[in-house]
Every structure is written in C-alpha cells, then in structure tokens.
Amino acid sequence: MQPFDPAMRERLCSAWTVTLHYQTLTVLSTALRRFGISDRASGFEAMAAQVLKEFQERLIIDGVIAGFAYFHDNGDIDYLLHPRDRSTGVSYSLLPMIHAIINGLLTPEQAKKHLALIQEHLHGPDGARLFDKPCNTGAAP
C-alpha cells in the first residue's frame, strides 16, 4: 500500500510496517542461527536492533506510538494517528500498538500503557476498533 501523494511515499513512515519489518528481521536471524549461519544472523540482528532504537526514538512520542510520522525537509515531523495529530482527528491506532507489543518493540511498562490505551480508547462492545474515531476527510500534513 502506497499513499496517492508521491511526496508522502517518500516522507511518510508507518509504525505498523516498521513493526512488521522488525519482525521479519528477528525471525530471519533466528532461522539463520538454527541453520548455523551465525555471521548472517548477526547482521540481521544488528539491523533489528537499529530498527528498534529508531522506533523508540522516532515513533513513540509522549509515550504513545504514532501511527505515522511525516518527515519534512526542514526536519520537522508531523505525527499522525496520535494525540498530537491535528489533521486527521485520530488519536490512537490499534495495529501499530498490538504489533509493537507482540513483536517485542516495547518495554513491559510501555506495553502495559498501550494495553490500557487500547482498553480505554479502542475497545468497544463489538471488540477492538482500528481507530478511536473516524478520520477527517481531506486531511493532509
């Protein structure tokens, strides 16, 4: 899936896809180790460690995972699907939270906090919802 706007394709980072990337790197490194290919496994482990570091630094803002980060030329970052988001109207997104938890990108304290956020903002009588509210139409960073 790619955004329609070409600039967004180059500047938008999805927290959910970062969690999937991290999962791929860690699973691959585990498989390589099982087959005795330790040097290649170490390379993938190093990449996974860098992804985890940048996930923590760039996508967890004010203690909450942003669904997306939009990186501007001047170094500014817009956080979408996050409580700081002023363009979409959405504050919480389920997929990056659950995937960050199950793939081990969060500390136990962070995981607890995100489970509480899911319970408070995303859980309804019909189950968990992808977003806490509908998105504003026509929104862009």
Count of domains in the chain?
1
Task: Give, as one character, the DSSP assignment of residue 39.
Answer: H
DSSP 112: H
The amino acid present at 93, given as its one-letter code, is S
pLDDT tens digit string along 94-141? 999 999 999 999 999 999 999 999 999 999 999 999 999 998 865 455
pLDDT per residue over 32-55, tens digit each?
999 999 999 999 999 999 999 999
> Is it the case that residue 6 has pLDDT exceeding 80?
no
Cβ pair 83, 62 in contact under 8 A: yes
Asked if residue 133 belongs to a domain, the reply is no
Name the band, by pLDDT with cuts 50, 70 and 90, for residue 2: low
Tell me if 138 is assigned to some domain. Answer: no
| Residue with token string 């790619």 | 2
For 80: left if phi > 0, alpha if psi spans -120 to 50, otherwise beta; the answer is beta
Distance from C-alpha of 117 to C-alpha of 96, rounded to nearest angstrom: 12
Q: Which domain holds residue 73?
A: 9-128
Residue 2: strand, helix, or coil: coil
- Please, are residues 26 and 52 in contact by the beta-carbon 8 Å criterion? no
The predicted pLDDT at position 138 comes to 59
pTM: 0.89
Confidence of residue 73 (pLDDT cuts 50, 70, 90): very high
Query: What phi, psi does 83 have (nearest 5°)?
Result: -55, -25
Rounded Cα distance between 103 and 113, Å, is 16
- The answer to whether residue 3 is domain-embedded is no
